Amino acid sequence: MKKRVLILCTGNSARSQMAEGLLRHDAGDVFDVESAGTKPGTARPEAIKAMQEAGIDISGHRSKSVDEFDGQRFDYVITVCDNAKESCPVFIGAAQRLHHSFDDPPPPTVGTDEERMAIFRRVRDELRDYLREFAASESRTSYR
């Protein structure tokens, strides 16, 4: 049975969207992955493009409110920004809460397209490294 993971950030528009796509792609055989935001917005086109460059299609994702998951059980709740960590709701059950803050990619009005994309790519790669370590650690724990 797959472990359930909920990845949270504020807007569910970039970091948590990319993290959901990465963990599904890299460890979807082990984890059932969802993402949500404490104040959901719209999936950022730059996040979709950065993921396409990595061979992962998240264009069908939508921003979801954490309220959509009220009453559901998760094995892990991973917050990827400080704001989400501070306002994260309590989930029923034994959800292990993990936190690592990643830089918030800038809004479309800041910098050039290439400058913004460089930040999205860096954050994507940092998320991938973190989530690969999380998945590897979970695999080691599960087989003890």
Cα dihedral 67, 69, 71, 76 sign: negative
DSSP 7: E
Which residue out of 14, 66, 81, 123 is catalytically annotated? 81
HSE of 29, CA atoms in CB hemisphere, 13 A = 3
Which residue out of 88, 123, 131, 135 is catalytically annotated? 88
CA distance 41 to 127: 20
- Laid out side by side, the sheet with 76-79 consists of 31-37, 3-9, 76-79, 96-99
- Annotation says 89 is catalytic: no
CA distance 96 to 115: 35
- Annotation says 9 is catalytic: yes
HSE of 106, CA atoms in CB hemisphere, 13 A = 12
Q: The tokens of 131 are what?
A: 């989530």
Which residue out of 8, 9, 22, 43 is catalytically annotated? 9
Active site residues: 9, 81, 88
